[in-house]
Structure 1
Amino acid sequence: MNQIKKHPVENLGYNFIPQEFLPEGKDEFYIRFQQNPATDYRQLTKQEIAILKSNGNRSDNWSQVRVRDGIDILLIEECTFFGLVRIGKLEPYFLEFSQLRTPVGLYRSLIVSCDIGNNVAINNVRMLSHYIIEDEAILINVNEMSCTSHSKFGNGIVKDGESEDVRIWLEICNENAGRKVIPFDGMLPGDAWLWSRYRASERLQHALKAFTDQKFGTYRGTYGTVGKRTVIKNTHIIKDVKIGSDAYIKGANKLKNLTINSNEAAKSQIGEGCEMVNGIMGAGSRAFYGVKAVRFILAPFSQLKYGARLINSYLGENATISCCEVLNTLLFPAHEQHHNNSFLCASLVMGQSNIAAGATIGSNHNSRAADGELQAGRGFWPGLCVSLKHNSKFASFTMIAKGDYPAELNIPLPFSLVSNEVHKDRLLVMPGYWFMYNMYAILRNERKFADRDKRQEKAQLLEYDFLAPDTVNELFDALRLLCRFTGQAFYQQHQIIGSSAEHEQKGKELLEQQAPVVNQLEVYASGFENSHRPVLLLKVQEGYAIYKKMITYYGAALLATHLDQTSNKSLPAIRKLFEEADERTTWLNAGGQLIPEAEIHRLIRDIENGKLENGWLQVHAFYKEQAALYPTRKLRHALRALMEIRGFAAAAVDGPLIRELLTLAADIKSWIATSVYASKAKDYENPFRKMVYASTEEMEAVVGTLKDNPFINEQLKEAEEFRQKTEQVLAAITF
């Protein structure tokens, strides 16, 4: 049966911290008085007590109701007070927010051991217990709003007297909890990635757990808080929740064990029907319309909408999930998932991603156990009704066409299109698809994600450029694979036996020479799918050429931009730039921030060796240090890539070469802008798109005119400005 305990009513509101957990010489209010150190409260006068009683108010001990001078005692009606209640100045105003108007004061509420700020409006709060309410907050029609002495506010910590099994973990990336991390307020995507990836190091895992524990005390007695100007209305249950200023909560069903960060520049909101438990919301994040979230982190300016379900997952900055279900997943910033019938589980998706309707990306649903994983680089775009099998891994900017993919996939070719040719029972992969057929989308998304980055504090430097150290390294790897598979196809056609090195050498020879025989070969890949069916590579020659073209543009464009911004444009200074471009190193995507792998390993060693005494603060300082170094390192990476792809050494850098490279950068930039136009123009030329309109005029009225497309015009303008810039740079270089 239920254990109902009886206590004397005069004890209600006291003994918040159990006696055994009180430090020596402290009382139950010592934490509360640290949270609100104000001392300008006084006891009520006899006249004020009489007025309160006449207004239908009650208290078990009026001496424990304290007020500030300037309070209009008439603004307290039909309230019941227990414990120490401290009330700020109440004046005869009404507060207005979003067409809600309500008088300042306390009305028809049960208030237990709370601090209430100046000019607060509290009306019909049936239970308000152990909260600190700051100035000009509005609380209307709340059934229960309480805080326990062991409140953790969504952080995965353990309080005095609690066992380890009460600790909250986020079981991200894998359903079997093998990559679980401890959530904490301020956790960055890079933190979650670092903790979940390097599981083999027990010292690292123990250290990160210790960092989290030391960030928060184990002491009991912290009160819940509601920040200034926060509005809460028509909500059922709020328990153990810490709420920042300027938040807006309306019609929520249940909010429990949460931190809701919010401030005047980044207002967080929770809307009707939401149920959110064991989580942390970053500043500027939002949840609306029946959202269910359990064991979660919403990074700043991320949002959940329309019945979305987010469980055991981290949603990065500037990301949106609507309608669908996401479980056990780590999502880097700028993720989009909008449709009710999509399912994403046990995945690491590294940002700038979009999951379409009908996509079912699960773990134990299509493998033998709940221990599968999917890893996808930046720009992951599975199309409509895509079903994938775990384990699978995808290079950056992989697009997957509609289909039920029966086996695990490992697609190492970036910017490719993957499709399932069912009638011939084979997998098709087209390298460079984005560049050949959808330049509009890739450029628009790059710009869109950067424009939508509303973070006030950019704790990690997020890379939105589709050409960056991570993707360019993948392009180099893809070039070698295309050479190998092409050479292998040539050898097989001519019934010649050769090694992988010989295949790669022959393939490179054929592709570099653009030999006509390449178009006559059926080039098959190996290791792309866990099956015996063939994997056919499409348009290999075109893909190889366009990969090289984009690497050239990456290096030459960054060189042009750097020379435009630097004052020293002498040939020796330019040659020195190339000399400083050492070996092209491996880079990792650490939560949307690109960092050299060697630097990540150095950080891990420092953590393992106990050199980070300030824990997560120093980890976050590491991100900022790496962000400051990134432009220089990216430039060096780009110049090394340029030397590799064009086949020259730093000593060969002279005037004609610089002129050639900068002119080539301008030419490719113009080609990109033209490709953006051409890929969008197809929408206006395709008869199947035009057939739903009675005339061209009607179509343009509905979708706009091609010539007036602002993004296309912007790209064309940027290309022309870039060409002018390169010409000015060339004129300024002292050869």
Structure 2
Amino acid sequence: MNDKVITLDQARFGYDFITAPFLPEGKDEYYLRDQQNERSSSSYRHLRESEIKDLEDNLNSSPCWEDVLVTDPFDTSLIRNSEFYGLIRIGKMDKSIVSFHDFSVPVGIANSRIVSCDIGDHCAILDCAYLSHYIIDHHVILYRIGEMQTTNHAKFGSGILKEGEDEDVRITIDIMNEAGGRTIRPFDGILPSDAFLWGTYRDDQALMRTFEELTEKTMDKRRGYYGFVGQQSVVKSCDTIKDVWMGPGSYIKGANKLKNLMLRSTLAESIQIGEGVELVNGIIGSGSRIFYGCKAIRFIMGDNCNLKYGARLIHSFLGDNSTVSCCELLSNLVFSGHEQHHNNSFLIASLIMGQSNMAAGANIGSNHNSRGNDGEMVAGRGFWPALSSTLKYDCKFASYVLITKGNYPHELNIPLPFSLLSADTKESRRVVMPAYWWMYNLYALERNSYKYRKRDKRKVIRQHIETEYLAPDTVNEIFKACDLICLWVAQNYNRAHASTKEQKDLTQMGRELLLSKPSEVSSLHVYAWGLENGNEPVEILKVVEAYQAYQEMLLYYGVKTLSSYCLATKQSIACFQEKETIKREDWLNVGGQLVPEFRVEKLKSDLKNNAILSWNEVHQIYDVWFASYEQDRAIHALATLYQALDTKQINDAQWQDLVQNVAKIRLNIESQVFKTKEKDFNNRFRESTYRNLAERDAVLGSLDDNPFIQESRQITEQVLSQIRSVSFA
């Protein structure tokens, strides 16, 4: 790069975009441009002498009018006070108006400097001080742009190198760890699943090399590709745009700086970028929106995401259907459905596995327990740190852990899903209530699945997502949590009774105590070591109720999932038991897509053995996984029932009992959803701001009209119908 101002020969300005040694023998500098431009070169013609005179009379100029080509119809009166350098090719241009959102301008070129560009039919390019090396598709509006150019080494957000470039210019993203130990290379089409595999299996050097090789194949290394503005795009009132690829329907207004970006916009799912935004080195998924002073550097945004109100997104991958406002995210891999809306919250160096929500004042990641910024956090789906909660790294949380307001001074490893973590400041001890969501917050748990389904506006699904809170990942965590509760109960029971008897199987002992002596166990103070890196144990609350709640969740998941699958595939429960090899496999959350671990291991093996040769093929494997998901989940559900019932086969009588129990569970869920919302409506202090109940209902809507309550009732009808309709034999 030349960092000095130099003087160029005006006659060569706009030419020599590709120079030796990067111009192949026998090719001219336009050979890649001609491949990009779908319009045949034969459709252009040279200007007539009369047209050149008319253009010059309209205060237009060019050092070489011979290289300004046009397409009929062509009206010279539509081009005014503009300069043209290099090879310029202009599409159809006649007297007409192009309009977008009540912003209407005449077709034509005015007050602009155009350098070596192809311009499509019926475009409006007005007050563009410097427009260089772009291919502009049909019906595009470019208005009041300071600088818009493409370099010959443009990579449009990808982490590859062009011919002759040094390694130190490669764009990488440091996800999950600030120190760079989990670096990935972005590419057009990258998914959270790809980033998860790349960032997780760092000890597998052969796999890492394969990922790098696949990424190098995603983009041509040759220099000389032009920038692109897709049809129906509008760009207005922007300062600097450099090396940006804009898909069809892109809408950009008032941006300060856009550099080295891929906008995966489509006409069906357009990308919008608004005022004061500065974006550098990124890939933006279709249907996403970025507004109001946001800053993003070395980033990837999935499809249907929102970045608003001054948010900072740095070295991070934000999954589909996420909304981030005001706050700061640094070095994260966040799966789909993340919500973070407050100016004083931080999320740093984390893997968040989706459907998460961070409250105001949540400080996640700025406090490391080392001399470097190399700490990390891993949280399963449904991670909810509450107001002003502060964690010390490293930390790991199971799915659906709700953290109450407080300062957590030590590293934590909470393997209990659906739990409530709180801080007992008086005793200087952390307290966990397992299965809290199921016992006391079913409304929020059910609504969590509901709202993420409703917010998924993607028209093309690239990243598969599971939004149900009971799924193979959380169910496997429940089994582990039950074993831990049994172990802790046995340990604390022995300690309370001064027992010196050796217990070979403390887990089995604890299970027997929970089932046979629940009252006695309820009176125990149960403590667990190993959940916090401190001197005090963590207190475990309501172990009897939590264990029973977990068992209910297992039965509900198993019967509901199995019934749904057998009805859909028109087979009986008994038939399904006979046909399948039933085993409860380990499952992984791969970018939001749930998959048995053995399938991931097979993919890794195929990648290293060169059986898979591109990222597109990897994505096809994800689709194959998804096609098998319903069956894989049904097998897992049946295995769950076997283990929960401690049986190797379910008979007709057992199934009928299960149906009755699960019907009661579902009716209780619906009842709790309604009662929770009813409690809000009947809160007399909440009524104090309204003159009467009619005003309240006009503002909030009536309880019976609440869309979530209505959907909850519909789900109840559906679940009851399924479990009662499926045939056992």
Q: TM-score when scaled to structure 1?
A: 0.96
Q: Is 1:326 the equivalent of 2:329? A: yes
8 A contact 1:363–1:373 mirrored in 2: no
Partner residue in 2 for 1:17: 18
Judged with a 3 Å threshold, the aligned counterparts in structure 2 of structure 1 residues 490 and 636 are, in CA distance, closer, same or farther, namely: same
What residue number does 1:589 align with? Answer: 589
Consecutive unaligned residues of structure 2, counting only runs of 5 or more, are: none
Residues 262 and 282 in structure 1, CA contact (< 8 A), matched pair in contact too? yes
How far apart are residue 687 of structure 1 and its match? 5.2
3-state secondary structure, aligned to 1:59:
coil
Q: Counterparts in 2 of 1:559-574, with a 5 A limit?
A: 559-569=562-572, 572-574=574-576
Is structure 2 residue 83 aligned with structure 1 residue 80? yes
RMSD: 1.6
**Percent same amino acid among aligned pairs?**
47
The residue that corresponds to 1:673 in the other structure is 670
Distance 1:572-1:394 versus aligned 2 partners, 3 A rule: closer
State yes or no: 1:703 paired with 2:700: yes
Distance 1:189 1:721, change over 3 A: closer
Partner residue in 2 for 1:504 = 507
Counterpart of 2:35 in structure 1 is 34
Deviation, 1:492, is: 0.5
Q: Give, in whole Å, the separation in 1 of the partners of 2:198 and 2:220.
A: 21
Native 8 Å contact 2:58 2:80 kept in 1 = yes
Shift of 1:365: 5.2
Q: Deviations over 1:602-630 (max 9, x none)?
A: 111221222222x2112111101111111
Equivalent position of 1:206 in the other structure: 209
> CA contact under 8 A between 1:169 and 1:183: conserved in structure 2?
yes
What is the correspondence of 1:267-416 to structure 2 with a 5 Å cutoff? Answer: 267-363=270-366, 367-416=370-419
Residues 500, 23 of structure 1: CA spacing in aligned structure 2 closer, same or farther, 3 A cutoff?
A: farther
Shift of 1:392: 0.1
**Which of 418, 421, 446 is residue 449 of structure 2 equivalent to?**
446
Q: Is residue 175–residue 363 contact of structure 1 (8 Å, CA) maintained in 2?
A: no
Matched, 1:162 2:165: yes
Name the structure 1 match of 2:660: 663
| Corresponding residue of 2:719 | 722
How far apart are the structure 1 equivalents of 2:5 and 2:711? 69
Distance 1:7 1:535 in 2: 72
Contact 2:132–2:148 (Cα < 8 Å) also in 1? yes
Which residue in 2 is equivalent to 1:617? 616
Shift of 1:692: 4.9
Contact 1:460–1:627 at 8 Å: present in 2 too?
Answer: no
Secondary structure of the corresponding residue to residue 555 of structure 2: helix
**Cα separation, 2, equivalents of 1:477 and 1:252:** 50
Question: What secondary structure, in the 3-state scheme, does the structure 1 residue paired with 2:432 have?
Answer: strand
Structure 2 letter corresponding to 1:585: E
**Residue range with higher mean Cα deviation, 149-158 or 705-714:** 705-714
Is 1:101–2:131 an aligned residue pair? no
CA distance in 2, matches of 1:493, 1:692: 52
Please say which of residues 553-562 and 397-406 is displaced more in the overlay: 553-562
SS at match of 1:20: coil
For the 8 Å contact 2:559–2:723, the answer to whether it is kept is no
- Partner Cα distance (2:205, 2:565) in 1: 43
Q: Deviations over 1:220-274 (max 9, x none)?
A: 0000010001000000000000001111000000000001111111010000000
Correspondence 1:420-431 to 2 at 5 A: 420-431=423-434
Q: Does 1:50 align with 2:53?
A: yes
**Which letter maps to 2:558?**
G
Residue of structure 1 in register with 2:578 after alignment: 576
The answer as to whether partners of 1:133 and 1:226 remain within 8 angstroms in 2 is yes
| Alpha-carbon separation, structure 1, partners of 2:282 and 2:4 | 29
Aligned residue in 2 for 1:494: 497
Report deviation, 1:185.
0.8
Aligned to 1:193, the other structure's residue is in SS state: helix
**1:228 paired residue number:** 231
Answer yes or no: is 1:462 the counterpart of 2:459.
no
Contact preservation (8 Å) 1:279, 1:295 = yes
- Greater shift, 596-605 or 412-421, is seen at 596-605
Cα distance in structure 2, aligned partners of 1:491 and 1:609: 52
Q: Quick check: 2:45–2:70 contact (8 Å CA) kept in 1?
A: yes
The answer as to whether partners of 2:116 and 2:134 remain within 8 angstroms in 1 is yes
Counterpart code for 2:31: Y
Q: 1:202 to 1:717 in 2, by over 3 A?
A: closer
How much has 1:366 moved relative to structure 2?
A: 5.6
**Distance between the aligned counterparts of 1:640 and 1:14, measured in 2?**
68
Q: Indicate the residue corresponding to 2:633 in structure 1.
A: 634
Tell me what 1:181 maps to.
Answer: 184
For 2:647 and 2:320, the matched residues in 1 are separated by 41
Deviation of residue 705 (structure 1)? 3.2
Amino acid at match of 2:595: I
Tell whether the 8 Å contact from 2:430 to 2:538 is kept in structure 1 after alignment: yes
Deviation of residue 711 (structure 1)?
Answer: 1.3
Distance 1:175 1:365 in 2: 11
Q: CA deviation at 1:108?
A: 0.6
Q: Which amino acid aligns with 2:12?
A: N
Q: Is the 2:367–2:391 contact (alpha carbons within 8 Å) kept by the matching residues of 1?
A: no
SS of structure 2 residue aligned to 1:53? helix
For 1:573, the aligned partner's letter is C
* Cα distance between partner residues in 1 of 2:127 and 2:676: 59
Q: Please tell me whether the aligned partners of residues 144 and 237 of structure 1 are also in contact (alpha carbons under 8 angstroms).
A: yes
Query: Quick one: distance in 1 between partners of 2:609 and 2:563?
Result: 42
Task: Indicate if the aligned counterparts of 1:242 and 1:260 stay in contact, CA closer than 8 A.
Answer: yes
My pick for the range that moved more, 672-681 or 300-309, is 672-681
Residue identity matched to 1:14 = Y
Structure 2 CA distance for aligned equivalents of residues 234 and 617 of structure 1? 37
Q: Secondary structure at the match of 2:669?
A: helix
The count of corresponding residues between Structure 1 and Structure 2 is 726
Q: Which moved more, 1:410-419 or 1:436-445?
A: 436-445
Structure 2 residue identity aligned to 1:27 = D
CA contact (8 A) 1:560 1:662 kept: no
**CA pair 714-499 structure 1, distance change in 2 beyond 3 A:** farther
- 1:247-262, aligned counterparts within 5 Å? 247-262=250-265
The amino acid that maps onto 1:631 is: E
1:61 counterpart letter in structure 2: C
Distance verdict in 2 for CA 1:669–1:522, change over 3 Å: same
Using the TM superposition, give the Cα deviation of residue 461 of structure 1 relative to its aligned residue in structure 2, in angstroms. 2.1
**1:555 is matched with which residue: 554, 558, 561?**
558
| Residue identity matched to 1:407 | H
Aligned to 2:219: 216
Against the structure 1 CA distance between its residues 364 and 418, is the aligned structure 2 distance closer, same or farther, given a 3 Å change threshold? closer
1:584 partner amino acid:
R
Greater Cα offset, 427-436 or 505-514: 505-514
* Long gaps (5+) in structure 1: none
Contact 1:367 1:389 in 2 (8 A): no
Partners of 1:448 and 1:243 in 2: how far apart? 31
Structure 1 residue 450, shift from structure 2 partner: 1.5
How far apart are the structure 2 equivalents of 1:52 and 1:278?
39
Counterpart Cα distance in 2 of 1:6 and 1:724: 79
Instruction: Give SS of 1:90's match.
Output: coil
Whole-angstrom distance in 2 between the partners of 1:563 and 1:408? 44
Q: Quick one: which amino acid aligns to residue 723 of structure 2?
A: T
Q: Quote the Cα distance in structure 1 between the aligned partners of 2:322 and 2:558.
A: 30
For the 8 Å contact 2:565–2:630, the answer to whether it is kept is no
Contact 1:670 1:716 in 2 (8 A): no
The structure-2 alpha-carbon separation of the partners of 1:362 and 1:575, relative to structure 1 and needing over 3 Å to count, comes to: closer
**2:527–2:540 contact (8 Å) kept in structure 1:** yes
